[in-house]
Amino acid sequence: GAGVSQTPSNKVTEKGKYVELRCDPISGHTALYWYRQSLGQGPEFLIYFQGTGAADDSGLPNDRFFAVRPEGSVSTLKIQRTERGDSAVYLCASSPPGSTEQYFGPGTRLTVT
């Protein structure tokens, strides 16, 4: 079946602009996660959704970052007033009910110029 998909695969934006990154989880997966992977680092947790609600958003670095999952499926990560330090690969993952195993998408590479 289809895996986790993320769009766009690459996004280049200017400093100060607003961006949206989309994640389409595996069908039937109730949990959804966002991570950020900076160059040479491992992924860092940003936010976790269980259904439509954010169960844990402790990893969001500041209030410029926001994520939604209005219907419990597709999620959008929104970044306002982008900064060059936001440049990274943003990964999305999903899990089936009752499982801690996460299935990762290919990521969106964000470059802020």
Contact 63, 113 (CB under 8 A): no
Q: Which is nearer to other proteins, 14 or 100 (CB)?
A: 100
Residue (31 or 79) nearer to other proteins, CB: 31
Q: Measuring CA to CA, which residue among 23, 22, 30 is closest to residue 3? A: 23
Binding of other proteins by 23 (CB under 8 A): no
Helix and strand numbers (H, E) in the chain are 0, 11
Instruction: Tell me whether residue 34 or residue 86 sits nearer to other proteins (CB atom).
Output: 34
Residue 35 near other proteins by CB under 8 A: yes
Of 47, 50, 52, 46, give the one whose Cα is nearest residue 69. Answer: 52
Residues that bind other proteins (CB under 8 A): 3-4, 31, 33, 35, 40-45, 48, 55-56, 59, 91, 93, 95, 100-107
